[in-house]
Each structure stands twice: as structure tokens, then as C-alpha cells.
Structure 1
Amino acid sequence: MQQAHHRYWPKGLPKDISQPQSSLYFNLEASAARFPAKPAIVFYDTVLDYAQVKREVDGMAGYLQHAAGVRAGDRVLLLSQNCPQFIIAYYAILRADAVVVPVNAMSTPEELAHYLDDSGARVAFAAQELAERLAGFVQDGRLERVIVHTYSDYLGAGSGDPAPPDWIAAPRRAPDAQGGVPWYGALAVNAPPLPHRAAAQDLCLLPYTSGTTGRPKGCRHTHGTLSAAVMGSQLWRGLTSEAVIMGVAPMFHLLGMQNCMNLPILLGATVVLLPRWDRQVAVQLIARHRVSVWAAPPAMIVDFFAQPDIESYDLSNLALLCGGGAPMPEAVAAMLSDRYGIIFNEAYGLTETASFLHCNPMDRNKRQCIGVPTFGVDTRVVDPSTLSELPPGEVGEIVTRGAQVMQGYWNNPAADADAFFMLDGARYFRTGDLGRVDEDGYFFVTDRLKRMINASGYKVWPAEVENALYEHPAVHEACVIGVPDACRGETVKALLVLRPEARDSTREEDVIAWSRARMAAYKAPRIVEFVDALPKSSTGKILWRQLQEAGQIPATARAGHTA
């Protein structure tokens, strides 16, 4: 059936695409055969070509199978910042027909205990500075082996420019824990891997959700679900093997994993790695290596282009900025377009959908919009209570189905029952995001299902207020939360990071007056607080839920803040 958004579909591409039946490892094998001497990874002053990456992946897979006892379907934990070893370990696990369990590098031992217990992983890869967090699990028998890598092992002999930080340049030391094996010791075993058997239908990834509604849940992804998303992204955006991709979004998260690792390997392209966000180093690398594609959350891009000396760098090769997770502020999107001629290609996806699900058409972008359902994706807006479909323009829960949607949660049938339901004879996934679809078939996220402020019966969507606040000339970053109010039930509070030049001249009451002139009175913040910084996740998202929970104390009346 012709959908409204099909009028703006990328020319020359079908509404649905043939899905690969091969494994993700096959993509590395193919790129290494096509471009053996081409740079696959740039890491400070080190360049690894595709032949070397494949050789080390195969060697590590042989070690996993012959020395660590990893069998098809076994889960293997991966705990690291972005580095060549992350990519090699990830693909070695796939080459061994096993399942990657990527975890946040900031995970505490308590969180790691849950990941290990829930996934059943008995073998782990860990960066040297993180391996000590796993030592207790080796001692109590939950882990049998930890393969420990050192970032500096993949640095060249020179100091490099930009020079790596001390924690990257730290020398290798012997693993502290019993059961710890050094990376090069594992590679030195040089055991040939068994024949690769995995195909599209086989489980290959078990990423964990953030756990905002309870304990983190593992998402069962196959080679096929990941391939559907990454191939869809490549075709939709017209990317080729000549792309140079900035890899700074954390690869333990689906945004970085898919866009900065699996996508360039599929293409046979080059990724320029940065282990942690550093805007000064990022601009140097983008200029020096002529980066053409960069996927990042909006908060990272806002910070990048706020650098005072940004105009002194040659960013002329940067052709595509893309990302999601939060709306790109209108004022920043306008600046990118007007000053640099770059359209921020906003997309939408979740851990449960392998990242890429919706995207704006490249030649018909709508700002503040997650775009349209991509190849083979069917997305609806339903009433969260009745699960019946709503007409265009009405706000409800976004539900979806497509080849990239996970099979379900790991060993959690109760969570599956909450997340999936049948509509018109098909199985849909409940995203937990509230949104609407317009007359053109474009979708807009208004907020998370549980992130609504109820002020005297009026519904306020924080994202809408935040977007307006970004237009204030003094505002650098904004987060809007609901706080208790004796009269209204809840009232709107804005936590703002001001631009440096505005910190001495901007008052809270000025921002409140400015807001009331630009939005309905019930939406405008009645409380404004200036803060030095807003807490963010490792992927650059503002932790609104943390601020929301901290704000659940009785609001104190303040002069000038009443209606």
C-alpha cells in the first residue's frame, strides 16, 4: 500500500531490500579480500590495514576456540573503550560463532555481576585499566578467563600528533588477576580457527538496555538483525568504500557499534578512532584525515561546533553528520546549514532495533524530526492504553516492526510480553517513545512515555520546552524536568548551562520572562537553575532521568516565579 512518506523515498531504491543471509564476519572477510592494503583503522599514529585486522581476528578466534573453550553460541563479555582491540575482539567472537556481550566501560562491579550472571558469559575481554573490576569474578569462579589488552600496544613508536592521553599511552603490565591472559599472549598461540558456521539467523550480540525501568535486559540480536540495520543505513545514505568515518561514539553502544565499526567494515571504508570524547582532538583528526562521515549524538555535535577556534580548521570534507537519541536543537541545525552547508541527517533507533530504523530522506530533511520508516519498516502510533492505532497528528506510543528488530529479551518472557503485541496480524515492538506522524508520513518523537509533566492537568513535553530554550542566545545546554508543586501538582523546571560570555549578565527571571513570551504559559519554566554542567551518559545523552529523580522534592516558591 502506498504510504504518505513514499512520495519522498530515495530515488532508485526499493521500499524493501533483500536481506543478507551471511554473518557479519563475512563482511570483514570480503573487505579484506577486496582491499587488503587499505587502512581499516586509524588510531592516533597507527594504521591497521584490512589484511592485518582479519589476520588478528582469525588468530584471536582460534585462541577462543582452542585455548579458552568457547563454543558456538557461548557469550563473551567485552569491556573496553574504543580501540583497535575492541574491533578485533568483537569480530573474533563472531568468527568463533559466539555472542558478544558489550558492556559500558563505566560499569561498576555490581553492574558487571548482573551482566555476567544474566548472560552466562565465562570468558571476557577487558582493557587493562578496567580488568581489575573483573578480578573478583575470576576468584569466585564466575569467570574462567580474562583476555587483557593495553591501548598503547597499538600506538606507534613516535609520540604522535595529537599525542594520546596518559591513560592511552600507559605501558603494558602483567595481568593482575588469576585467569588473566595478555592480549599478545593469546595471539601468540596462533591456533587456526575452526570453520565459520554462523549465518543470518544465529544469535551474535547481547547488548543490555540502560535499565531505566528496572534491571538491564539483554537484547537478542542476530547477524541478520544487525545486518538489516547497517545495510539499510549504507543504502539510504549512499555511502561508499571511500568514506572516512569518525569513530568517537562508544562502540559498546549501538550508535557507535553500528555506525563506526560494522558500517565501515561492510563498506571497506576507514574509521578514525578516538577512545573518549575530546573536542580539540576530534577537530584535529577530522581535519587531518579528511573525515567525510560522522555519526554522533546531538550533544556531542553541539559541543564540537562551540569551540572558539573551530573556524581555523579545514572541515570542508565533512559531508554527512548523522545521529539520533535526542532532537538536534533548531538553532544548531540552522547554524550547521547556514555556516557549513551541512544538513544534520536525523535518524532514529534503539538498542532493540540495532540502531537504524527511521531516517530523514537525504534530499528532504525535516528538522526536529526522526524521519520516515526505512526499508521494510512498518511503524504506527497507538494509544498506549488500548494499543489501537491513532490517526495522523495525534500523540501516542510509537510501535514498529522490521528486519532489524531484536528477536526478544534474553531469558525474560515477562519483558517480551510487555514489549511485543499483535496488531493487524503482525508482531509489533513497543518503543516506549511518545510521538506523532504528520500528513507527509514523517514521525516526530515528543518524549518518552513516562517523561510527561502534568501541570494543572496540562500535558507538557520537556523536549519541546528544551528545544525552545536552545534558541535563547545565552543557553548552551538545557534539561527540563517536572518538580512537585503544591498548587499545580507539578511545575516546569529548567536546568541550564550558560554560554561563557553570558554567565555574568543572565538572570533566572530574564530566562523565565523570555520563555513566557515564546510559549504557552503552562509550558514555560517557572523555576530556572543555572548549573556548570549537566550529567551525561557515555554516549553523550543528557541524563534527564537522574535530574528528574533528584528534583522530586517539594518545590520552594521563589520570587518572580509565580504565575
Structure 2
Amino acid sequence: MNARPPHFRFWPKGVARELRVPRATLLDYLDTAARRYPDKPAIVYCGAATSYAQLRQRVDALAGYLQQRLGVAPGDRVLLASQNSPQFVTAFYAVLRAGAVVVPVNPMSKAAEVRHYAADSSARIAFVAQELLPALAFGEGEGELRAALVHAYVDATDASASDDTLPDWVTAPRAPLADARLHGFEQAIALGLAPAALPLSPDDLAVLPYTSGTTGHPKGCMHTHATLLASLASSAVWKQLHVETVTLAVAPLFHMLGLQNGMNLPMFLGATAVMMPRWDPAMAARLIEHHAVTAWSAPPAMVIDLFSHPEAERRDLSSLALLSGGGAAMPEAVAAMLSQRHGLSYNEGYGLTETASFLHANPPARGKRQCLGMPTQGVDSRIVDPVTFEELPAGEVGELVTRGAQLMKGYWRNPEADREAFIEIGGRRFFRTGDLASMDEDGYFFLRDRLKRMINASGYKVWPTEVENAMYEHPAIHEACVIAVPDGRRGESVKALVVLKPQERGRIGEDDIVTWCRERMAVYKAPRVVEFLESLPKSGTGKILWRELQEAHRAAAQEQAHP
């Protein structure tokens, strides 16, 4: 690598090039905020506010219960299954206060998936929202839990102070707990048990989030307080966030985007998180206006939803100073609309569960669109040949590999996965992201696709994200997903799955889209087939599930060929 990386020419002013990682724990920041700003709202949720002093008191009492009544010891793993709520935050920090490790669980997980998380992590205790109890198995066998603390979202709400009609699952009353293995969340806090003081270290394991992975069972990513804080400290300085920041916390907290940006970053800053139970664009517009939200991290799909909703036109969203996110490229047409109509730029970045979210970002004053940005403080990223691992020159497509203080320590009890994921270059350990990317002459990185997502049409390489970005410029298209489908003559063909804007449905046909695309891109790139859908399946963080769509269409094609 060059002695002076090219992106240093465009480095944001006031940001150090190296990162000084705090030698502290996440709990230190909660404690500091509670001392400095005891009455300040840490979380605003469904009409109710939880101050920093209240949050710390509840965290301590819950940690005491974990230790004294449920026998949780330092290093134990504890499952946490819940939609976004103050109870999620309280439980998360209580587990850390008890010296244990949080295993965040997607609330959409089925029983078999939860059993895998419990078995793989050896978790015996769980925090769970009452409606998710059926997904948990109790007993003495592998993947079975010994006890659970159960919460009801309604206990953290104040419907009389909320302008929004809250979902039924939020307002559902607290259900009775008939099983002795089930413990009431609020009853546990009410006992006021004091937690034992523990010698916690920044290098203690804090969170074990599971990645979906491309094959096999999900793998746990080992993150310490230090790796999480490296990401938070870097992000706060890069984005110029501070104690008066008001964030909109809507990305699911079980996922790194939500966990870090929606929960841990406000705690790190002593800021306020305006938390939504689940994505609702009309509610988001009202909350931004009412609470003067200044920063919002979200995937492009959510941003598109908000700014295309009629409620966004009626509300004053001028407090928003920062829109940031990643996971998918922001379409050029949408970015232009944000700039022209609202004076906002979408600060695109790049991160993974394995890197605690924040890794690459665009400089706020010199961003490039549909761009992963540049490596942030202390991060060393390179483009290498996926086979030889030789570093490639600017402009060439290869695998993005990276190293930095926010990188996980490895996969939980999975040395085989570690051997596949990590390589050594020049005596230093790099993580293989599995993403194909290129770097331009300015040192900015651009995603080309996942290592296996490329479409090979008659020998021509087609990058689906490039086609999707172009399609978003069509005035009738709301969302698009480009996939590879088998083609007896060409090997693979390009197919586009399209969601039209409501007013355009029935007016635009398949041939119209195909013709429009062929006028704007090489014929081998243009979709040969277009299928209209009512909606596209998305992950909990708003990413379009392209792999799921591609596999379903390939299976259907094979069934037609061999009935």
C-alpha cells in the first residue's frame, strides 16, 4: 500500500487519521451520562420518556436480579429477543453490568433458529418480549433455556402523550406468567437488588451477534467493549455528533445498524434516542418534527419510504442535519431529490456485523454517491485478487479486505470459519468481507456486489447493483431488485423484479421498462425479463433480500425445465 493513501487528500477537516480507542466499557458511558444529565431523556418511546438517572437505576436493579436470583455469572451468555423498546436497552446494559454477554435475537426468528442461538452460545437465560415467548424452548436439553425475564412493551409507553395510534402488540396488556421459569421484568426491577461490583475490562466479551451467512448455520461474532467503542468513537467524530444530538432509532436493535447507531451511540454521547417500535414512515415524519430529530441512520429503503410519504410533505423536517446509512447504494435519483427538495445529502458508509457497523464513510463535505466512502480512522482496507490475495490497482474489481480496531475478535467457537474469513498480508491480519469492490484514483471504494452475485450473461459480467441504480431513475419505479435466472442459451439472464409507484400500476408494462433500460445501458446489462410485484421481501434492517428472490426464481425455472 502507498505510504500516503490517496483518500488522505480528501480527509474531513478536524478528524484525526488514527483512532484512539477509549479504554473503557459501554457501562462507563451510561454511568457518566447519568451523573452529568440525570434528568435528560435518554429514550423517548411511544409518548413516554426515560431519563438517564431512571435508566441507570433500572439497569442496576435488573443486573442485581440476574446475579442474585438467576445465577448469571461473568462471561455467561444471555439471549435478548425483543422489538425496539426501552426494555431492550435496559436488558442489554443489565447483562453487561452483570459481566455477561448479550446474544441479540431477531424477533422474527422461528423456534428452531432461537434454539440454534441458545445451543451455539450455551445461553441458559433469556430476556424476551411476551409475544415472542412461543419461540423459546425451556428445559435441560441442548438449546433449551432454564429461565426468562419477560416484558410487555406497554409498560414503557404513555398513550395519552402520544400523537400516534400505537400498534396492538405495543399496547397489549401484561400477560400473567404461569410458569415458575418465567420472571416478570418490572417485578424484578421493583425488588431493587444491588448488583455486585465487578472488575470489568474493555477487552471483555460484550455482544455476540449472529450473522445470517451465505451457507450453513449463522455464526456468532465476538465483540468486546473495545471493538464496539472503537466503532462508536470513530463514528461520533466523523459525523460531528455530540451531546445535543437527537437520533431517530428505528433500525432493529438486534442488528448492528440499530444496536450501535440507535442505542449505543446516544448512550456514548449522552444524547437522546427517539425510538420507534417498528418502521412507520408517517410516524417517523411526526416524530422528527415533534422532537426536532437531528440525526438518522437508516438504509436507503427507509429513507425512500419516508420522503415519498405524503406526511413528509406536511411536516417540518428542517431539524434533520444528518442522514446516514449503508447496506445498499442510495439511488442517484433519490439522492438528487433529497438535495434539491430538502437540502440534505445522504452520507453513505459501509460496515458489517463483523466490524460493529462503522468502518467506511464518505467525508461529509465531499461525498460521492453510490459509494462506500473511504476507510475511516485507523482502518486499512484494500482490494485484492480473491484467489491470490495480491493487491490490485485502482479501478480493478476484487475482494475488499480490511483491518481496524472495530473488527471482531473472531467467530464464536468456530475456528474453521475463522480460517476462511481471515488472511495475513504483510504480517497483518485482514478480514475477508466477501464483497467485490473497486477503489478509484481518489481512494474511494465502490461496491460491485457480493462475491457470488455477479451475473454472467454470455460471458459478459453484469453487476446487479449498477443496473438497479439506473432503474431507480425511471419515474414509475418505487423499488427494483435485479437477479440472475438460468438461460439455456446465455448461461444466465438478467431479470428485474419491480415495485411500481401506486399511481403507475396498470399504466406501465414490462416492455416499457425493458425498452427504457435498453435505451440507457448496454443491451447485455438491460433486463430481458421484468416482473411486477406488490412488494419486495426485506430483512429487519430494510435490505432487499435479493438472494432469497434469486434462489426462488432459479428453483422455479428448474421446475419448469424438469417437471
Task: Please identify, of 103-112 and 194-203, the stretch whose mean Cα deviation from structure 2 is larger.
Answer: 194-203
- Asked if the contact 1:373/1:379 (under 8 Å) is kept, the reply is yes
State the match for 1:93 in structure 2.
95
Q: 1:78 aligns with which of 80, 83, 96?
A: 80
2:289 to 287, 290, 301: 287
Q: Given the alignment of the two structures, is residue 470 of structure 1 paired with residue 472 of structure 2, yes or no? A: yes
For residues 347-362 of structure 1, what are the structure 2 equivalents within 5 Å? 347-362=349-364
Q: TM-score, normalised by structure 2?
A: 0.97
* 2:561 corresponding residue in structure 1: none
Name the residue aligned to 2:164. Answer: 162
**Contact 1:483-1:554 within 8 A present in 2 as well:** no
- C-alpha deviation, 1:156, in angstroms: 2.4
* Partner secondary structure for residue 310 of structure 2: coil
Paired residue secondary structure (1:428): strand
Residue 260 of structure 1: aligned partner: 262
- 1:168 aligned counterpart, secondary structure: helix
Amino acid at match of 2:187: G
Alignment RMSD, CA only? 1.3
Report how far residue 524 of structure 1 moved: 0.5
Deviation per CA, 1:204-249: give whole Å up to 9, x if none: 1100001332210000000000000011000001101101100110
1:489 match? 491
Separation of aligned partners in 1, 2:535 and 2:15:
44
Write the distance in 2 (CA, Å) between the matches of 1:208 and 1:135: 19
Q: Which of 377, 389, 392 is the matching residue for 1:390?
A: 392
Give, in angstroms, the shift of residue 134 of structure 1. Answer: 1.1
| Pairing partner for 2:247 from 245, 248, 260 | 245
For 1:446 and 1:209, how far apart are their aligned partners in 2? 21
1:440 to 412, 424, 442: 442
Which one of the candidate residues 107, 122, 125 is aligned to 2:124? 122
Matched to 1:12, the amino acid is: G
Q: Is residue 135–residue 177 contact of structure 1 (8 Å, CA) maintained in 2?
A: no
- Could you tell me which runs of 5 or more consecutive residues in structure 1 were left unpaired when the two chains were aligned: 557-563
SS at match of 1:463: helix
* Aligned equivalents of 2:184, 2:142: Cα separation in 1: 21
| Cα displacement (A) at 1:417 | 0.1
The amino acid that maps onto 1:196 is: L
CA contact (8 A) 1:381 1:435 kept: yes
Q: Secondary structure at the match of 2:136?
A: helix
Give, in whole Å, the separation in 1 of the partners of 2:538 and 2:178. 31
Question: Aligned AA for 1:372?
Answer: M
Q: Where in structure 2 are the equivalents of 1:33-44 lying within 5 Å? A: 33-44=35-46
CA distance in 1, matches of 2:4, 2:404: 17
CA drift of 1:198 comes to: 1.7
Distance 1:129 1:194 in 2: 31
Cα distance between partner residues in 2 of 1:500 and 1:115? 40
Supply the distance in 1 between the matched residues of 2:416 and 2:126 (Cα, whole angstroms).
28
Instruction: Tell me, in whole angstroms, the C-alpha distance in 2 between the residues paired with 1:554 and 1:201.
Output: 49
The answer to which of 210-219 and 230-239 deviates more is: 210-219
SS of 2:78 mapped into structure 1: strand
Q: 1:138, 1:145 within 8 Å by CA — same for their partners in 2? A: no
Gaps (5+ residues) in structure 2?
559-563
Q: Do 1:421 and 1:429's aligned partners in 2 also have CA atoms closer than 8 Å?
A: yes
| 2:115–2:137 Cα contact (<8 Å) kept | no
Is contact 2:111–2:134 with CA below 8 Å preserved after alignment? no
What does 1:151-230 align with in structure 2 at a 5 Å threshold? 151-156=153-158, 158=160, 160-230=162-232
CA distance in 1, matches of 2:172, 2:442: 54
Instruction: Give the Cα–Cα distance (whole angstroms) in 1 for the partners of residues 522 and 159 of structure 2.
Output: 61
Q: Which amino acid aligns with 1:325?
A: G
C-alpha deviation, 1:317, in angstroms: 0.2
Deviation, structure 1 residue 142: 2.4
Q: Is the Cα contact below 8 Å between 1:132 and 1:177 reproduced in 2?
A: no
Give 4+ residue runs of structure 1 displaced > 4 Å after superposition.
Answer: 135-141, 553-556
Number of the residue aligned with 1:506? 508
Cα distance, 1:44 vs. partner?
1.4
| Equivalent residues of 1:138, 1:178 under 8 A apart | no
In the TM superposition, residue 40 of structure 1 has moved relative to its aligned partner by 0.6
**Structure 1 residue 280, shift from structure 2 partner:** 1.1
Gap change, CA 1:138 and 1:273, over 3 Å in 2: farther
Structure 2 counterpart of 1:411? 413
The residue type equivalent to 1:350 in the other structure is L
Contact 2:116 2:143 in 1 (8 A): no
Query: 2 CA distance for matches of 1:163 and 1:389?
Result: 54
Specify the alignment match of 2:274 in structure 1: 272
* Distance in 1, Cα, partners of 2:473 & 2:15: 37
The two structures have a TM-score, normalised by structure 1, of 0.97
1:76–1:122 contact (8 Å) kept in structure 2: yes
Q: What is the aligned partner in structure 1 of residue 304 from structure 2?
A: 302
Q: Which amino acid aligns with 2:185?
A: W
Give 1:190 deviation, angstroms: 1.7
**Cα–Cα, structure 1 residues 520 and 537, in superposed 2: closer, same or farther, change >3 Å?**
same
Q: Is the 8 A contact 2:245 2:271 kept in 1?
A: yes
Q: CA deviation at 1:515?
A: 0.5
2:444 maps to a residue whose letter is: Y
Structure 2 residue 339 is matched with structure 1 residue 337: yes
Note the C-alpha offset of 1:155.
1.6
Per-residue deviation, 1:385:
1.2
CA offsets per residue over residues 268-323 of structure 1, 9 Å max, x none?
00001101111111111111111110001111111111113421100010110000
Aligned pairs for 1:542-561 (under 5 A) are: 542-553=544-555
Partners of 1:141 and 1:251 lie apart in 2 by 23
The change in CA–CA distance for 1:156 and 1:403 in structure 2 (over 3 A counts) is: same
Q: CA deviation at 1:176?
A: 4.4
May I ask how many residue pairs the two structures share in their alignment?
556
**CA 1:185–1:135: 2 relative to 1, 3 Å:** farther
SS in 2 for 1:346: strand
Deviation at 1:139, TM superposition (A): 8.6
Work out the CA distance in 2 between the residues paired with 1:555 and 1:102.
Answer: 37
Q: Percent identity?
A: 58
User: Which residue of the other structure, out of 321, 325, 328, is the alignment partner of 1:326?
Assistant: 328
Check whether the contact 1:484–1:553 (CA below 8 A) recurs between aligned residues.
no
- 1:116 and 1:141 mapped to 2: Cα distance? 5
Query: How big is the shift at 1:554?
Result: 7.0
- Name the SS of the counterpart of 1:161 in structure 2: coil
CA displacement at 1:503 relative to structure 2? 1.2
Q: Which residue number in structure 2 is paired with residue 527 of structure 1? A: 529
